[in-house]
Chains A and B, each alone.
Chain A
Amino acid sequence: MKKEQKKLMTDDCERVYSEVSGKLDVLSGATLLITGGSGFMGSWLCEMVYYMNEIHKMDIRLFVIARDHERFESRLPHVASAKNIEFICTDIRNVSEFPREVNYIIHAAANPDSRFHSSRPFETMSTIAEGTGAVFRAASLVSDLRNIINAGSSAVYSSEPNNREKFSEISPGLPLNSKVSNSFSEANRYSETLCSAARNELRLPIVTIRPFTFCGAYQDIDSPWALNNFINDAMCKRRIRIHGDGETFRSYMYGADLAVWVLIIMLHARSGQIYNVGNSNGFSLREIAEKVASCFQPAPSVLLNTSLTGDINQSTLLPDVTKAEKEFGLKQYTNIDTAIQKTIQWYKNAC
Chain B
Amino acid sequence: MNKYRVAILGSGNIGTDLLVKVQRSENLECVAFIGRSRGSRGMAKALELGVKLSDQSIEYVIDNASKIDLVFDATSAKDHMVHAPILKELGIRCIDLTPAKIGPMCVPLINTEECMDNMNINMVTCGGQASIPIAVALARTHKNIEYIEVVSSIASKSAGPATRSNLDEYIKTTERGVKHFSCAKKTKAILILNPAIPYIDMMTTILAKINEPNLELLKIELASLLERVQSYVPGYKLILGPLFENGRIVVILRVQGFGDYLPKYAGNLDIINCAAIAIAEEYAKAVKNE
Q: A contacts B directly in the complex (CB < 8 Å)? A: yes
Seen from chain A, the residues whose Cβ lies within 8 Å of a Cβ on chain B are 68, 70, 89-91, 93-94, 96, 119-120, 123
CA A90 to CA B39, docked complex, whole Å: 10
Chain A residues near B37 (CB, 8 Å)? 90-91, 94
22 contacts between A and B (CB under 8 A): A68-B78, A70-B78, A70-B82, A89-B36, A89-B57, A90-B36, A90-B37, A91-B36, A91-B37, A91-B39, A93-B39, A94-B36, A94-B37, A94-B38, A94-B39, A94-B40, A96-B39, A119-B161, A119-B164, A119-B165, A120-B161, A123-B161
Nearest residue in A to B40 (C-beta to C-beta)? A94
| A68 CB contacts on chain B under 8 angstroms | 78
Cα-based distance from A94 to B40 in the complex (angstroms): 7
In angstroms, Cα B40 to Cα A93, docked, is: 9
Q: How many A-B residue pairs have CB under 8 A?
A: 22
A244 → chain B, closest Cβ, in Å?
30
Docked Cα-Cα span, A93 to B164, in Å, equals: 24
Query: Told that A89-B36, A90-B37, A91-B36 touch, could you supply 9 new A-B pairs with CB distance under 8 A?
Result: A70-B82, A89-B57, A90-B36, A91-B39, A93-B39, A94-B36, A94-B37, A96-B39, A119-B161
| C-alpha gap A70/B82 in the complex (Å) | 9
Cα distance A120–B162 in the bound complex, in angstroms: 11
Instruction: State A120–B78 Cα separation when bound (angstroms).
Output: 20
- From 1 to 42 in chain B, residues with beta carbon under 8 angstroms from any chain A beta carbon are 36-40
Closest 5 CB pairs of A and B: A94-B37, A94-B39, A90-B37, A91-B37, A120-B161
Distance to closest chain A CB from B33 (angstroms): 15
Chain B hits for A93, CB < 8 A:
39
Interface centre among A68, A89, A94, A96 (most CB of B within 10 A): A94
Complex CA–CA separation, A70 to B37 (angstroms): 17
Scan residues 45-92 of chain B and give those whose CB is less than 8 A from a CB of chain A. Answer: 57, 78, 82
Q: Cβ of A90: which chain B residues have Cβ within 8 Å of it?
A: 36-37
A121 to B: closest C-beta gap in Å: 11
When chains A and B are docked, how far (Å) is the Cα of A115 from the Cα of B104?
Answer: 35
Residue of B nearest to A92 (CB): B37
Q: What CA separation (Å) do A94 and B37 show in the bound complex?
A: 6
How distant is the Cα of A210 from the Cα of B164 in the complex, in angstroms? 32
- The complex places the Cα of A96 from the Cα of B78 at a distance, in Å, of 26
Residues of A within 8 A of B40 (CB): 94
Roughly how many angstroms separate A93 CA and B39 CA in the complex, as a whole number? 8
Complex CA distance for A323 and B128, rounded to whole angstroms: 60
- Which B residues from 147 to 203 make CB contacts under 8 A with A? 161, 164-165
| Chain B positions within 8 Å of A96 at CB level | 39
Taking CB atoms, residues of chain A closer than 8 Å to B161 are 119-120, 123
B78: which A residues are within 8 A, CB to CB? 68, 70
**How many angstroms between the C-alpha atoms of A92 and B40 in the bound complex?**
12
In the assembly, what is the distance between CA of A70 and CA of B75, in Å?
14
Distance of A127 from chain B, by nearest CB (Å): 13
Contacts of B36 in A (CB 8 A): 89-91, 94
Q: Give, as a whole number of angstroms, the nearest-CB distance from B60 to chain A.
A: 14
A281 to B36 CA separation, bound complex (whole angstroms): 44
Which chain A residue has the least Cβ–Cβ distance from B82?
A: A70
> For residue A89, which residues in chain B have a CB less than 8 angstroms away from its CB?
36, 57
CA distance A89 to B82 in the complex (A): 15
CB-nearest residue of chain B to A69: B82
* Distance in Å: Cβ of B200 to nearest Cβ of chain A: 22
Cα distance A120–B165 in the bound complex, in angstroms: 11
* Shortest Cβ distance from residue B100 to the other chain A in the assembled complex, whole angstroms: 13
A99 to chain B, nearest CB (A): 17
B232: min CB distance to chain A, Å = 33
**Docked complex Cα distance between A94 and B35 (Å):** 12
Q: Separation in Å of the B280 CB from the closest CB of chain A? A: 28
Q: How far is the CB of B46 from chain A (nearest CB, A)?
A: 15
Q: What's the minimum C-beta distance from A327 to chain B, rounded to whole angstroms?
A: 38
**How distant is the Cα of A68 from the Cα of B164 in the complex, in angstroms?**
21
Q: Report A-chain residues with C-beta under 8 Å of the C-beta of B57.
A: 89
A203 to B161 alpha-carbon distance, docked (Å): 38
**Neighbouring B residues of A123 by C-beta, 8 Å:** 161
Output the nearest chain B residue to A91 by Cβ-Cβ distance: B37
Min CB gap A348→B, angstroms: 27
Of B36, B38, B40, B78, most buried by chain A (CB within 10 Å of CB) is B36
In the complex formed, the residue of B with least CB distance to A134 is B39
- Chain A residue contacts of B38, Cβ below 8 A: 94
Rounded to whole angstroms, the CA-CA distance of A334 and B161 in the bound complex is 39
A123 to B78, CA, bound (A): 20
CB distance from B125 to the nearest CB of A (A): 21
In the bound complex, what is the Cα–Cα distance between A96 and B164 (angstroms)? 31
CB distance from A137 to the nearest CB of B (A): 12
Min Cβ gap A138→B in Å is: 12
Query: How far is A155 from B40 in the complex, measured between Cα atoms in Å?
Result: 29
Query: Which residues from A are CB-within-8-Å of B165?
Result: 119
Distance in Å: Cβ of B117 to nearest Cβ of chain A: 30
| A96–B171 alpha-carbon span in the complex (Å) | 40
Q: Within the assembled complex, what's the spacing in Å between the Cα atoms of A96 and B43?
A: 15
